[in-house]
Amino acid sequence: MTHKAWWKESVVYQIYPRSFNDSNGDGIGDIKGITEKLDYLKDLGVDVIWLSPVYKSPNDDNGYDIADYHAIMDEFGTMSDWEELLDEIHQRDMKLIMDLVVNHSSDEHQWFQESRKSKDNAYRDYYIWRPGKDGKEPNNWESNFGGSAWEYDEKTGEYYLHLFSKKQPDLNWENPKLRQEIYDMMKWWLDKGIDGFRMDVINFISKIPGLPDAPNPEGKNYVTGKNYFRNGPRIHEFLHEMHEEVLSHYDVMTVGEMPGVKVNEAKKYTNPEREELQMVFQFEHMGLDNGPNGKWDLKPLDLRDLKESISRWQNGLQGVGWNSLYLNNHDQPRIVSRFGNDQEYRVESAKMLGTFLHMLQGTPYIYQGEEIGMTNVKFDSIDDYRDIEILNMYKEKVEEEGADPDKVMESIYEKGRDNGRTPFQWDASENAGFTTGEPWMKVNPNYKQINAAQAVADDDSVYHYYRQLIALRKNHPIIVYGDYELILPDDEKIYAYMRSFKGEKLLVVTNFSEENVSFELPHDVSFEAKEMLISNYMNDTSEDYRTFALKPYEARVYKGV
């Protein structure tokens, strides 16, 4: 039995502040810039804004390295700018959730500055320090951004753990004092009136005791050790404690980012009876176009894999927990370039992908620019890229391993995180209206054709289609609460599914290919259509809904019984 909740009925919009809107001409998006655009978001119809980190940070990882959890980053403005933003959001009847980055802090955080001073410093155990082993790192784990996950610190002659960059030391959740500091900080923000948290790599906070070496039977030079720090032995205990101490006292929304999480684990994290989180961001569908050597190893998507994976999540959490639904964020390439066609069928495929996602069971997340069909970018030179993950990978592959730079650039064009981080394209003026200064990262050269002003003015745009998708959710509870059932599991081009709720049904049919294909409703599916709720083509509504021809990237949703 699925319980009703406001956060299940909401649509979330993610803002990556650095790239959203620059109000003061320094080339960097800022908080006042966001406030200026709230009416745009309200018109789109979204309910909740998730703000990627805006805290004080040296920006080694664009704010995911926090130096002060209680202060705003200088480039983004002041605390009073932020308070004004929150107030303006609430005045428009929207909500704000903040990014909570507590697996690690910045090495410039005062805790770490103290921690590294001496082995008996009061903050030593806020981080994970170990002596070397036989003159080498304490274990063989690799950082998510390449190289060892350990950094030697001369002052005390020990190593500290950093699962991301060496400027992002991991916090030690085994230490109850550290946990209490985090809970107090969370309350401090909640008492300011925010409406919840998106929690960064939150399933990494419990590491396996003893921090053993990860197995490496094939002698590869790349060892993630990921099973040793993901969903570790105390993770449920920590999240439950966080719920008791903090979250249970507020009516808020929580979503935990969890690389590598499986459905069975997610059931535990999101089952309300266990009092941990409401939703997780899982990654399975984002890894389906990875080859055997990971993200940079390119492989085309097989639609049957997407169906198998999404259906397992839909069925697995149904009636137990709750899904988060996303195809884009600041760590992913643009979906229209990835699973759609960003050339001839950009508008059609962007709408089709939106339909596919928004009709599933769960809370949909829209990432800035998705609603106008922004695409991946191809900068000629590596010097135009800004992301630490891209730059480290390029250096490692090209400079250290001698790989062909053109090949490496190809994989950056397909998978690099900067694809999602180019400045938001507001209009056709210089720098896409994002800034009057020099943007911190170049704007995608296609901004003259693809921008919000154009999209708002064109009734047939991706933007207006997203508005419709969002509005439909408000008027048809079946879209939020209906049960999910996959049909045509083996079709390589069509993804079709049914939803059902209180005697009503939805039929969702999406063509993931650029070919004309024919759809046939399986005989054993009982469905009688009453109306077509939405489609990305002009269709003859009297056409038989049981068999019809689908145009390239066509999507249709029928409602009936």
What is the contact surface with ligand NOJ in residues (CB under 6 A)? 61, 64, 101, 164, 200-201, 257, 330-331
Residue of 142, 200, 371, 418 with catalytic role: 200
Q: 315 near 271, Cβ under 8 Å?
A: no
Return the number of the residue (271 or 392) whose C-beta is nearest ligand NOJ.
392
Nearest residue to ligand NOJ, by Cβ distance, number only: 64
Instruction: Tell me the C-alpha to C-alpha distance, in Å, between residue 316 and each of 206, 299, 311, 481.
Output: 24, 27, 8, 15
Return the number of the residue (141 or 558) whose C-beta is nearest ligand NOJ.
141
Return the number of the residue (417 or 499) whose C-beta is nearest ligand NOJ.
417
Q: Which of 14, 67, 64, 3 is nearest to 41 (CA)?
A: 14
Residue with tokens 């006042």: 32
257 catalytic? Reply is yes
Rounded to a whole number of angstroms, the minimum distance from the CB of residue 14 to ligand NOJ is: 10
CA distance 141 to 214: 7
Instruction: Tell me the C-alpha to C-alpha distance, in Å, between residue 81 and each of 31, 78, 86, 437.
Output: 6, 5, 9, 21
Phi, psi of 551 (to 5 degrees): -80, 170
Q: What 8-state DSSP symbol labels residue 297?
A: E
Residue of 61, 65, 257, 418 with catalytic role: 257
Rounded to a whole number of angstroms, the minimum distance from the CB of residue 140 to ligand NOJ is: 21
Rounded to a whole number of angstroms, the minimum distance from the CB of residue 144 to ligand NOJ is: 7
Q: 50 near 99, Cβ under 8 Å?
A: yes
Rounded to a whole number of angstroms, the minimum distance from the CB of residue 63 to ligand NOJ is: 9
Rounded to a whole number of angstroms, the minimum distance from the CB of residue 330 to ligand NOJ is: 6
H or E, element range at 43: helix 38-44
Residue 551, classified by CB atoms within 10 Å of its CB into exposed (0-12), middle (13-18) or buried (19+), is middle
200 catalytic? Reply is yes
Return the number of the residue (164 or 465) whose C-beta is nearest ligand NOJ.
164
CA distance 270 to 273: 9
Rounded to a whole number of angstroms, the minimum distance from the CB of residue 481 to ligand NOJ is: 29
CA distance 40 to 217: 54
Return the number of the residue (20 or 164) whose C-beta is nearest ligand NOJ.
164
What is the set of active-site residues?
A: 200, 257
